[in-house]
Amino acid sequence: MTDTDPALFDPLQAGVPPDPYPLYDRLRQEDPVHRSSTGRWLLTRYEDCSSVLRHPAMSMAQRRATGDSDEAQLLAAYLSNLMLFNDPPIHTRLRGLVSKAFTPRVVERLRPRITELVDELLDVAAEAGRIDVIAEFGRPLPVTVIAEMLGVPAEDQGTFRGWSEALAHTVDPDMDAETAGRAAAAGLEFMAYFTAMAEERRQDPQDDLLSGLAAAEDEGDRLTADELVTNCILLLIAGHETTTNLIGNGTLALLRNPAELSRWRADPSLAKTAVEELLRYDSPVHLTARTAMQDVTVGDTEVKAGEPLTLLLAAANRDPDEFADPAVLDIGRVENRHLAFGGGPHFCLGAALARLEGQIALSALVTRFPRLQLTADEFEWNPTTTLRGLRALPLSV
pLDDT tens-place string over residues 318-348: 999 999 999 999 999 999 999 999 999 999 9
Q: Is 132 left (phi over 0), alpha (psi -120 to 50) or beta?
A: beta
199-209 pLDDT tens trace: 898 889 998 98
pTM of the model: 0.91
How does residue 174 score in pLDDT terms, banded at 50, 70 and 90? low
- Please state, rounded to an integer, the average pLDDT across all residues of the chain: 88
Mean of pLDDT values over 226-239: 83
The yes-or-no verdict on residue 4 having pLDDT over 60 is no
Q: What is the pLDDT of residue 102?
A: 86
The residue type found at 192 is A
Name the band, by pLDDT with cuts 50, 70 and 90, for residue 217: low
Q: Average pLDDT for residues 141-167, to the nearest whole number? A: 85
* Per-residue confidence (pLDDT) for residue 145, from 0 to 100: 93
Who contacts 298 (Cβ-Cβ below 8 Å, separation ≥6)?
A: 33, 41, 43, 48, 51, 52, 309
In terms of Cα–Cα distance, which of 188, 209, 226, 218 is closest to 145?
209
- The verdict on residue 33 lying in a domain is yes
Find the mean pLDDT for residues 126-154. Answer: 93
What length does the chain have?
397
pLDDT digits (tens, 9 = 90+) for 368-395: 999 999 998 889 998 888 889 999 999 9
Q: Residue range 299-317: average pLDDT?
A: 96
List C-alpha distances in Å: 269 to 78, 119, 185, 244.
43, 19, 45, 22
In a domain, 49, yes or no: yes
Q: Is 390 exposed, middle or buried (0-12, 13-18, 19+ CB in 10 A)?
A: buried
Q: 160 lies in a domain? A: yes
C-alpha–C-alpha distance, residues 228 and 103, integer Å: 19
Whether residue 1 is contained in a domain is answered as no
What mean pLDDT comes out for the span 292-315? 96
Residue 210 lies in a domain: yes
9-18, 230-239, 248-257: which has the minimum mean pLDDT? Answer: 9-18
Distance CA 166, CA 332 (A): 37
The whole-angstrom separation of Cα 84 and Cα 354 is 17
CATH number of the domain to which 283 belongs: 1.10.630.10
Residues 240-253 have a mean pLDDT of 94
CA torsion sign for 149, 356, 51, 218 is: positive
Residue 81, domain member (yes or no): yes
For residue 241, the enclosing domain spans 6-396
Which percentage of the chain shows pLDDT scores above 90?
57
What pLDDT does 244 receive? 95
| The pLDDT value given to residue 266 | 97
Residue 327 domain-assigned (yes or no): yes
- Let me know if residue 360 belongs to a domain: yes
CA atoms within 13 A on the CB side of 318: 25
Whether 169 shows a pLDDT value over 80: the answer reads: no
pLDDT at 2: 41
- Above 80 in pLDDT, residue 216? no
CA-based end-to-end distance of the chain:
32
Residue 3's pLDDT band (cuts 50, 70, 90): very low
Q: What percent of the chain has pLDDT over 70?
A: 91
What DSSP letter does each residue of 62-97 carry, written as one string? Answer: ------SSHHHHHHHHHHHT-GGG--TTHHHHHHHH
pLDDT 10s digits, 66-81: 556 666 677 677 778 8
Q: Is the pLDDT of residue 7 over 90?
A: no
Q: Tell me which range, 13-22, 102-111, 131-140, is most confidently predicted by mean pLDDT.
A: 131-140
Domain count, the chain: 1
1 band by pLDDT with thresholds 50, 70 and 90:
very low
DSSP assigned state of 186: H
Whether the predicted pLDDT of 218 surpasses 80: no
